[in-house]
Amino acid sequence: MIKYLDKNLIQDVCNSNEFKGWLLSKRWFGDKSTLSNLEFSIGINYFEIIAERILLTILEVKTSDYSKTYFLPLIYYEKIEDILEPIEKTREIIVNLTENTFSKKLAITIENEQKIITLNLMEAEFCLFFWRKMLFDTTISENFPSMTMELTLYTKQFEDDINMKKVQNLIEAGLYPDRYELSLDQLGGGNTTNILFLLNISNKRNPDQPSVSYVLKSYKDYSVSLEPFTLFVLVKNKFPNSPKIYGTIKIQNKEIIGIIESVPNLGNLGDIYWNELNNMINNVFKKVNNDYSKYTEKSNASILIKEHCMETIKVSSDIGHYITNLHQSLILPSQEDYSLESVESTTYLKKYTERLNSMISELLTHMTQQPESAFFNLPKISSILIDIKDIIERFRAEFEAPKIDIQHVHQDLHMDQILYNKVNDKYIFYFIDFEGDPQLLLEEKKGKFPVEKDLASFLRALSYIKFNTLLRFIENKIVRRDKYEVPEEILYNLYFRRAARPLNKILDIVLNVLNIWESKLMSKILKNLNLSYILITYFYIERALYELSYEILFRPNKIIVPVLGLKEIIDKS
């Protein structure tokens, strides 16, 4: 049947409303708000069929004033069992893959006779069949050049035996596939912009030998990726706290797949902050009518935090040093994009201020075009954006240093991008996802920034955890179900409408504890770092504006979090 699935037929299928709706359901498919009316066209810029079932496609999504390109490998099947290896034939996997399959009835002509077939297409990365063919089938990889594809395994960059053996293990699995057994696990719970999997390779001839694991990353946004070379720079600088890049697959000289080291970890850093804070709030403030007035005093609140957030305080004391080492290791003088530069602060900040003011103007325009009933059309929220313009200008004027050092930085350093492990009661951190700020265009991602941009991004995560913890507390303890109350509205009233504030004082007390928690951790993180408070605040505002833009487009009910982050900047200033 695969011989009848040519490029034109698949392109027609892609332009059906059913397929467009299927695409919109994918986490990696961006601009959902803009494209939700399905009034866009899909063109196939690249199309190859390999291994009889795998359709390698590059899709271009277009409107009259919009264009974005995605890498979308698909597997065609008639019976799902036909594309699964024995290890995958479990009820859970089969149900999951079936539920995520796109299916459509098609009328096609076969041997002068029209027949109705069911076209089943599934994202290929979810099957071992795809990875086995792409990575370990030499009959296919030998034909990569004819398909403008390239498989590269990096061997020369490693000087240590451990990583050299891991690369050689990949090569041997390709040369002798029958000797190796594979297993696949999705990472990130599907809540990632790119699709991530953990590939485990074990040698059948040496069953006692531990399996070797790799992270396989499918770069859905089809553009030049910064991550492979950035990881290469970190290897060159012998930075131990990021995964190694073992190899890539490219189509037309753009990375579509990365083969990356699997670093030992217990989770991401945000888990520690979130779990300890929520456990403290839930265990201490159990009954809303109890007297918790003693926690209005900073000393009592600080003791409470020390008792319940010991690990959070510990990692906060360490992480600033790790981030500093990361920035030092992202400098490679021989590479222009990774060299350290010193620029005139006046010119740099003037240009950046114009950029932030433009963001604010676009946000205000977008908000006023929405229905008047929309939450973000409230005058007090608009006034915050107007006030933030003044704050940005004031910070620009107050910056006195004549020069600013700029370099390649992470750009998107939130807590989910930092994995942690614990050995002998000592934390070890690993930085991941070096693809740059997802809000920026490629040329902007290639730009250089003060290191304060990363610290501001990291500190914004504290604000998100703080306010989402408070929202959860409101939902569990304050909301009256019979009154159809909304947690976000109660939080808004707490800050903006004194007459409509909840009569119970517990929210003020909990908020006071959360504010002291945030302030204490900020000081721990920034301690002994020679950084500019003005620049950190400057980029903190930028991050909050990006978050506001994202929430308006994707989660309008959550805009209260970045709005309150901006309000706190105004209040402190």
Average pLDDT over residues 231-238: 92
pLDDT digits (tens, 9 = 90+) for 252-288: 999 999 999 999 999 999 999 999 999 999 999 999 8
Residue with tokens 């991941």: 432
pLDDT digits (tens, 9 = 90+) for 23-50: 998 988 877 777 888 999 999 999 999 9
pLDDT digits (tens, 9 = 90+) for 141-196: 999 999 999 998 887 777 678 888 888 888 888 888 888 899 999 988 776 778 89
32 or 105, higher pLDDT: 105
Residue with tokens 């590269």: 152
pLDDT at 514 over 90: yes
Q: Which helix (H) or strand (E) holds 70?
A: strand 66-77
Name the band, by pLDDT with cuts 50, 70 and 90, for residue 429: very high
Residue with tokens 């990575």: 135
> Please, what is the average pLDDT of the chain?
90
What's the confidence (pLDDT) of residue 32? 77
What's the confidence (pLDDT) of residue 500? 63
Q: What is the 3-state secondary structure (H, E, C) of 429-457?
A: EEECCCCCCCCCCHHHHCCCECCHHHHHH
pLDDT at 77 over 90: yes
- Longest Cα separation, the chain: 85
Percent of the chain with pLDDT over 70: 95
- In sequence order, what DSSP letters do the residues of 466-506 get, joined into one string? HHHHHHHHIIIII--GGGT--HHHHHHHHHH-GGGS-S-TH
User: What's the helix, strand, coil split of the chain in %, to 5?
Assistant: 50, 20, 25
What's the confidence (pLDDT) of residue 551? 81
pLDDT digits (tens, 9 = 90+) for 350-381: 999 999 999 999 888 877 766 665 666 677 88
pLDDT at 133 over 90: yes
Domain borders along the chain are: 2-124, 128-261, 269-572
Percent of the chain with pLDDT over 90: 65
Name 567's Cβ contacts closer than 8 Å, sequence gap at least 6.
384, 495
Q: Which two tokens stand for residue 329?
A: 């290791």
What's the confidence (pLDDT) of residue 464? 94
Q: What is the DSSP letter of 221?
A: B
Average pLDDT over residues 44-64: 94
What's the confidence (pLDDT) of residue 442? 84
What's the confidence (pLDDT) of residue 49? 94
212 or 2, higher pLDDT: 212
pTM of the model: 0.88
Average pLDDT over residues 218-225: 91
Lowest mean pLDDT among 279-283, 439-443, 472-476: 439-443
Residue with tokens 């390698």: 56
Cα separation, 552 vs 573, whole angstroms: 26
pLDDT at 110 over 80: no
Residue 118, SS3 per DSSP:
strand
Q: Which two tokens stand for residue 322?
A: 């790790």
pLDDT digits (tens, 9 = 90+) for 451-464: 999 999 999 999 99
Q: Could you tell me which of 341, 358, 311, 491 has the C-alpha nearest to residue 409?
A: 341
CATH assignment, 269-572: 3.90.1200.10
Cα separation, 74 vs 55, whole angstroms: 5
Q: How many CA atoms lie within 13 A of 428 on its CB side?
A: 13
What's the confidence (pLDDT) of residue 370? 64
Name 420's Cβ contacts closer than 8 Å, sequence gap at least 6.
265, 266, 267, 268, 269, 272, 315, 427, 428, 429, 430
